[in-house]
Chains A and B, each alone.
Chain A
Amino acid sequence: MIRRLYMTLAGAFLLAPLIVVGVVAFTSASFVSFPPPGYSLRWLTRVLADPSFMRPLANSILLGLAAACAAAILAVPAALALARRQMRHAAEIESFLLSPLSLPALILSIALLFYLSRLGLGSGFAGLFVGHTVVVLPYMLRTVLAVARGVDPALEEAAHTLGADPWRSFIHVTLPTLRPGIVAGALFAFLVSFDEVAVALLMSSVGSMTLPVAILNHVAHNYDPAIAAISLIKIVLVIAVLLALELFFGLDRLMLSRARR
């Protein structure tokens, strides 16, 4: 009984802000108020037709996908090396690769801005892409590394014994065994990038502005409920991606190792 009550309260605590956002998105009023005096689709319609929200939304999706892919390309070899090789200073290298997690986001963003500006990449999609890859790399590395450490090296040895060259065994044996970590890491990486604001605030240009920055800019100068409407669209989008993954692939199947299924 107490457990059920606790779970209900915890659920309500987590869901309440989302419900408020969802309800306010349908308000007919010109300013944010709860409960709304009336209901209307005016703010959702306005936001969906507004390129100052839709273009950043597309940028955020593209950036999230690109950063997640780049993080996977970097994290998989790093995780394999850390998990399998008897390297000197392996712990230090792992800590270094995870270090973006330990820095305050704003400090990291200022450091990236100053560094990438010297390379001519301080403002625009390229800088954002590099910055977000740095930010999401630890999430990808952690999940892939956790899976890689649990994989039996004998599987690859068996593939070699049966005649597979290193690339073939990597594609057909190693990658499938790492898949749960890569998929889980990519999901985390995409969501972290999709929500990231500190790096994007300092490094986005007009054409590469991301959705969180567009929302922040709007909040700073407007008091209308368009912000609730775009937030609702964002929430629905994330839920839709998770549902699609569940429907077509099964989240359990993607994120649990073969051995555990």
Chain B
Amino acid sequence: MRDSIRRLAAASVLLIALPVAGALAQDKIVVTSSGGVWLDSAKNNFATCFKERTGKDPEILVSASNEIMQRLRASPGNPPIHVAVLSEIDAIRAGQEGLLDKLTVEKVPNLKDVPEVFRKQWNDFATIQNFGAMIVMVNGEKVPNPPQDWKTLIDEVIAGKYGKRVSFPSLTMPWGPMFTWFLTTLYDGSEDVVFQKYKAMLPNMAKYWVSPVDALNMFAAKEIDILVYWDGRAYAFAEENKWAKAYIPAPGAFQSAAMLAKPKGAPELAWQYVDCVLSPKAQLGHSHTVKYPIVNSKVEYPADLKAILTPLEKVRQPDFARIIERVPNWLDRWNREIR
């Protein structure tokens, strides 16, 4: 009897101890990525470069920016993530909170080919690894001649020209504040006008979308004819579906970016991965995979790729300091007036 009790106790201890031991044995560089084609690109371009240089495979964790922030805040100085891909606002906050190491050319030689505009607002605590823009997707069969500028598009939606078959991003999705900031630049900086337009479009809006996947599903299922969406995914979709078109209305779009950063306390080896991400070969491969422009100025795009990438001169980089300051007020207005 005592033996069976001992066995039971030993099995219980093992059951608890094995996973603990397994976790403590982890000793690898952990990098983050978004899922889907982003993960494919991280494996095929960045991890391949890292392995060529160091002989090691990085562990690629699919994780969203806000989750990464919680993990970094929970372990300051001893981060479970060694290279992080963050949203623009989270990267600014992480830098301000002392969670990131500064990027320098000594640590990241390829940084010398990344123009300052891609790092300045982040005080070198992070750099843009690729950027994109929110543009317009249309069903070419239903809307053969879409409006060529944002203000006309918005006015025609308000007038009901496209019925209730239009979807714009919600302010509450992660890049919603940046889109709202961009709209204010179209209306002389007036937040009031932008919120009036949001409200006036509401009766003809199928949905102010929050989930990018839901939005693209609506468009793919032809439930809507006009969708404001990211350029890379829009062009990739249009390439596979000839009825779909994607274009940039005048006067352009706002810059939406993925920020690359090394958390404070991450091993020195992490710099090698950061440098790989910014290397010309990996950057071009990444751009091919995700269909977004990259930041290394030495990269020359082939003609077919260049044709579908939003050029830098057509995007406006948001003023993040202003956005961070205004977001609480905008969210309050959105919840009261639009939702």
Interface residues of A (CB under 8 A from B): 30-33, 66, 69-70, 73, 110, 113-114, 117, 120-129, 165, 167-168, 171, 201-202, 205-209, 217-223
Contact = CB atoms under 8 A, between A and B. Distances in A.
Interface string B10-41: 00100110011011101000100011111100
Nearest to B60: A206
A126 B30 contact: no
Interface of B: 1-2, 4-5, 12, 15-16, 19-20, 22-24, 26, 30, 34-39, 59-64, 67, 70-71, 73-75, 78, 80, 211-213, 216-217, 220-221, 240
Contacts of B212: 220-221
Given A66-B15, A202-B71, A221 B26 contact: no
B197 to A, nearest CB: 28
Contacts of A121: 20, 23
Contacts of A202: 67, 70-71
Contacts of B213: 219-223
A220 B26 contact: no
Contacts of A69: 12, 15
B217 A32 contact: yes
A66 B59 contact: no
Given A117-B80, A165-B1, 16 more contacts: A33-B220, A70-B12, A70-B16, A73-B12, A114-B74, A117-B74, A121-B20, A123-B80, A124-B23, A167-B5, A171-B5, A205-B61, A205-B80, A207-B26, A209-B61, A209-B62
B217 A31 contact: yes
Contacts of B216: 31, 223
A195 B51 CA distance: 35
A160 B1 CA distance: 15
A215 to B, nearest CB: 11
B1 A206 contact: no
Contacts of B30: 123, 205-206
A220 B173 CA distance: 12
A24 to B, nearest CB: 11
Most buried by B among A117, A207, A208: A117
29 contacts: A69-B15, A70-B16, A73-B12, A113-B71, A114-B74, A117-B71, A117-B80, A125-B19, A129-B16, A201-B67, A202-B67, A202-B70, A202-B71, A205-B59, A205-B61, A206-B59, A206-B61, A207-B26, A208-B23, A217-B62, A217-B63, A220-B35, A221-B36, A221-B38, A221-B213, A222-B35, A223-B213, A223-B217, A223-B220
